[in-house]
Amino acid sequence: MIPVKKNEEYIAEITAVSSDGNGICRIDGYTVFVPQTVTGDKVRILIVKANKGYGYGKLIEVITPSPDRTEPVCKSYKRCGGCQLMHMDYTYQLKVKADIIENAMRRIGGMKDFTVSDMVGAENPYRYRNKMIFPVGADKNGGIMCGFYAQRSHDIMPLDDCFAGVKFNAEIICAVKEYMLENNVSTYDENTHSGLVRRIFTRVSRKYGDIMVVISVNGRNIPNREALISKLREKSGKITGIILNINTKNTNLVLGDENITIWGCDTITDSLLGLDFKISPHSFYQINPAMTEKLYAKALEYANLGGNENVMDIYCGIGTISLCAAKMAKHVTGVEIVERAIEDARENAAANGINNADFYASSAEDIVPKLIESGEKPDVVILDPPRKGSDEKTLSAVVTAKPERIVYVSCNPATLARDVKFLHENGYILISACGFDMFPNTVHVETVCLMSRIEK
């Protein structure tokens, strides 16, 4: 028997936080997840879902706040849902994230008594994002609306100011809106797949302050380009590139395949650990460069390079880790699926005078087994896969090459733990792991692990 009823209110005490950032309470032994609460809160909740094993509650009132509760700085925090932990004191957020990593490693990875060696927090938990994507659509009265998707929906909520991104984004949005109004440019409607402007994408260089603006459009052109260019440039001399992204497919992909630079540079340049990197709109680039430097420093410390090693950097993006490692190793091979990112990686190697790195544009599962069969013998392997983690084809090939050390960088503790388990069963032990808060106020966390080969 389920001891709670849907649409009824209950009073409960939050006793833990789940891996997706929801507070957890128990009502007569029954588990209820309550978003936007924290351990120690006494709350009144409304049951919105009552499944067999667990339910979901909506926070109605905080009766007694937890000592770890804080007032979110953002007005839109409740509707947006992008910053799931913004109501928690920052120190407590770090504890939640360390717990998420440890629980995944114990439950999924089977690592008994696992603890993180360190959980590195951000100096500034706001304004850290260098990349933002704002959907554009029409409001009820036909006006232009631009902002974020509200939680679990495709309803655009207008942006006042997002505390994760730079303040300047609001100015860019304002310039694009003015241009659209003055030139009668339509907004895209995803239901009818009609209208022109779909998204505004911005990327800023932390080191140089340059800004790239990409306008994603359902078409191959926009009316009166010059007006858009001058509107944007009036707002700031820091804009170094304005790009149209041709996105005519009826899908939710953020960007279409083709870019047309209508003014300035096709790429933006940022710097990490003393090296400059050019970044194309389609290339992955870590969104919090201040924390990325700390994360890479730890990955390189774990790689423990003395100048004589062959390194394989799998899921290398634009070659950021590869090129930092190349300065301390004999040779680096980088592997990445996005071709444009590999072009960036090669250009970045040349621009930084690095000639001991080779890059392959291919899926890891395809190319890594081939490289290793054809005799590549990495001493150190670095893995930095997307959220879904690596896969057995890639990992099996890696272990047959018997590298001394594997450094695994992950943005998803669950898939990390799964892959660590596989590596553990195939000759490697987990030496240490550190968490890095790349995404303050959200439930996301980055982990760097060192695994070492057991001699057989």
Residues 6+ apart with CB under 8 A from 450: 302, 405, 406, 407, 430, 431, 432, 433
Which of 320, 348, 441, 447 binds ligand SAH (CB under 6 A)? It is 320
Min separation Cβ 296 and ligand SAH, Å: 7
Query: Looking at beta carbons only, is 216 or 394 nearer to ligand SAH?
Result: 394
Question: Which residue(s) pair with 137 in the sheet?
Answer: 145
Shortest reach from residue 432's CB to ligand SAH, in Å: 20
Asked whether the beta carbons of 39 and 15 are under 8 A apart, the reply is yes
Residue 338 is a binding residue for ligand SAH (CB under 6 A) = yes
Pairing of the two strands 268-272 and 275-279: antiparallel
Contacts made by residues 109-116, CB under 8 angstroms, sequence distance 24+: 109/416, 109/417, 109/418, 109/420, 109/421, 109/424, 109/430, 110/421, 110/424, 111/417, 111/420, 111/421, 111/424, 111/430, 114/430, 114/433, 116/433, 116/434, 116/435, 116/447
Residue nearer to ligand SAH on the CB measure, 39 or 288:
288
- The yes or no reply on residue 315 touching ligand SAH (CB under 6 A) is yes
Tokens for 416? 């990390």
Structure tokens of 115? 């603890």
CB 383 within 8 A of CB 314: yes
3-state helix/strand/coil string of 173-213: HHHHHHHHHHCCCCECECCCCECCEEEEEEEECCCCCCEEE
Would you count residue 360 as binding ligand SAH (CB under 6 A)?
A: no
3-state helix, strand, coil in the chain (%, to 5): 25, 30, 45
Distance between CA atoms of 30 and 24, rounded to whole angstroms? Answer: 10
Residue of 450, 122, 158, 147 lying closest to 287 (CA atoms): 122
Least distance between ligand SAH and beta carbon 242 (Å):
24
Dihedral-angle region of residue 7 (phi above 0 means left; psi in -120 to 50 means alpha; beta otherwise): left
The CB-of-342 to ligand SAH minimum distance in angstroms stands at 10
- Using CB under 6 A, which residues numbered 283 to 302 contact ligand SAH? 284-286
Q: Burial level of 451, CB count in 10 A (0-12/13-18/19+)?
A: buried
Q: Which of 80, 324, 411, 449 is catalytic?
A: 411
Binding of residue 188 to ligand SAH (CB under 6 A)? no
- Residue nearer to ligand SAH on the CB measure, 202 or 286: 286
Min. distance of Cβ 355 from ligand SAH in angstroms? 20
Work out how close the CB of 34 gets to ligand SAH at its nearest, in angstroms, rounded to a whole number.
32
Q: Which helix (H) or strand (E) holds 233?
A: helix 225-235
Closer of 286 and 310 to ligand SAH (Cβ) = 286
Stretch that binds ligand SAH, among 77-85, 103-111, 223-231, 309-317 (CB under 6 A): 309-317
Least Å distance, CB 173 to ligand SAH, is 27
Candidates 21-29, 145-153, 233-241, 360-368: pick the segment binding ligand SAH (CB under 6 A): 360-368
- Give the C-alpha separation, 32 to 87, whole Å: 19
**C-alpha to C-alpha distance for 66 and 17, rounded to whole angstroms:** 13
State the Cα angle at 210 between 286 and 144, rounded to 5°.
Answer: 85
Chain residue whose CB lies nearest ligand SAH: 317
363 touching ligand SAH, by CB under 6 A: yes
- Residue with Cβ nearer ligand SAH (93 or 283): 283
In the bound state with ligand SAH, the residue whose beta carbon lies nearer, of 82 and 317, is: 317
Q: Does 386 bind ligand SAH (CB under 6 A)?
A: yes
Q: Does 333 bind ligand SAH (CB under 6 A)?
A: no
Interface characters, 255-284, with ligand SAH (x: CB under 6 A)? -----------------------------x
337 touches ligand SAH by CB under 6 A: yes
Residues 113, 103 contacting (CB under 8 angstroms): no
**Cα separation of 209 and 97, whole Å?**
30
Is residue 3 at the binding interface for ligand SAH, with CB under 6 A as the rule? no
Least Å distance between CB 445 and ligand SAH? 15
| Residue 162 known to be catalytic | no
In angstroms, what is the minimal distance from the CB of 313 to ligand SAH? 7
Question: Binder to ligand SAH among 341, 342, 398, 449 (CB under 6 A)?
Answer: 341
Q: What are phi and psi of 284, to 5 degrees?
A: -75, 135
| Closer of 316 and 399 to ligand SAH (Cβ) | 316
Region from 87-95, 208-216, 238-246, 336-344 binding ligand SAH, contact rule CB under 6 A: 336-344
Which residues of the chain form contacts with ligand SAH (CB under 6 A)?
A: 284-286, 315-317, 320-321, 335-338, 341, 363-365, 384-386
Active site members: 411
